[in-house]
Structure 1
Amino acid sequence: MSDDAKRRILLTGATGGVGTALLERLDEEYEILPHGRHTDDPALRERLLTADISDYEQVLALMDGVDTVVHLAGSASPESEWEAVLEANIVGQRNVLEAAHRAGVRRVVLASSNHAMGGYDRHEQWPVYASQVPWPDSLYGVSKVFGEALGRYYHDHTGLEVIALRIGWMSEDPLSTDVDLLRAMWLSPDDAARAVRSAIEAEVTFGLYYAISANPNRRWDITDTMLDLGYRPQDSWTDRPGASEEVVEGGADSPEDWPEGS
């Protein structure tokens, strides 16, 4: 790729909450191919790719000339049932990695989740480091652990570069909840773009990394994200107008029904 050429990025799930935020912030920096189910935006509708992520041949057809896949598509709720995570997050994950490998894609950035490690949050066993044994809190979390493991397999056996980001709770307004755990894992839309940009450009070729903003009450270590990827979060929920943090030694208790509603 020449110095002045833009990387061609396939962004799956571009019409979801995280995908929309990334498209708005990275569209001028990269040549983005947005993929999604549907959109009410007429301009986006003209360029939206609508392949079924559970159909391998359709996924493979998306990969032509792609440098990096940022894979967000899938069942996004921690309350998802088995059938939903099987098709979208397990079969779909394999299809993306296999198609990327076969098409000669350089790198896949996987949207993993804090729910891959949510057992630590449920049982309030903090702090949490990316190197700890996965402890999913839901079938959704299980599917994200599978994606991380499959990404490692493809990296080790095919040379495909894979960076998995354990994304925190992304919201435009972190004050829309009074749950300390959610505020602690808040990822601002701007920091989400910073994390993904870092994952696209970093020299490291494999890794599992937390992507969380610079919240003072966070329980999840992002030191390796900052060192390996060069991620520099700029936002904190406590900087929002009207925010007030009540410091609880050891961290405020997790909701009893975690991860419901998260």
Structure 2
Amino acid sequence: MKLSSIALLSIAAISFNTQADLLGDIQEKGVLTIGTTGDYKPFSYYDDTQYSGYDIDVAKHFAEQLGVEVRFVQTTWKNLVGDLKQGKYDIAMGGITRRMSRQLAAEQSQGYMTFGKVFLVANGKQDQYDTLKEVNVPSVKVGVNIGGTNEKFAEQFLTKATIVKYENNLDVPKAVSAGTVDVMVTETPEALFYQATDKTLQAVREENPFTKSQFGYLMPVGEERLLNTVNFIMDEMKLKGVDKELMKKNSLL
């Protein structure tokens, strides 16, 4: 029995010592891979040539601090966590809402911006669609991106409205502007971005959102060293004002 116990302990020790260390792998390869949807301005946008946005700049800062290169991998909101689990990238970034279901499926970084769910509508119609009751009727078409928290919000609170789902989040504000849908479910930063850059669109409830949440970054389950390092870099960004500089650059301040 004693020999068996010792053998089992030895195997457990070997297993523990040989556990994967994603941060070590990143440093060894010299590349940090970032999964992002590229369809959520002003956090992550892909124009078929390059990525831009606040979280893209943060990802580049992460890589710089780690002394490695950064490589971006396009994903979708629907496959965001699944692709992370499959090892297609090291960190998921790009306006990702921190929520319990994601905490159970991945490691979540600390939050970096507080926001809430709001509506985006055609300019001049903000008073027509400024409550859930006004929007939650069959005659109102509500646009959401598939697989994100906007879809979940609509399915929970707008059960009577006509929900129109889009694979690409960038298509939803275009649909509002064209009159294809009446309302887009979105978050404060995105709504304010479109309001500032497109005169045909108007943010609704931006000062009194329906919910309150924070954005964060996702890493594979068990990768505590990478998680702690990301949180450390985020703390340093706040301390040195790097986060504010990048927010100003991307029209978030």
State the TM-score, normalized to the length of structure 2. 0.31
State the TM-score, normalized to the length of structure 1. 0.30
RCO higher in structure (CA 8 A, sep ≥6): 2
Larger fraction in strand: 2
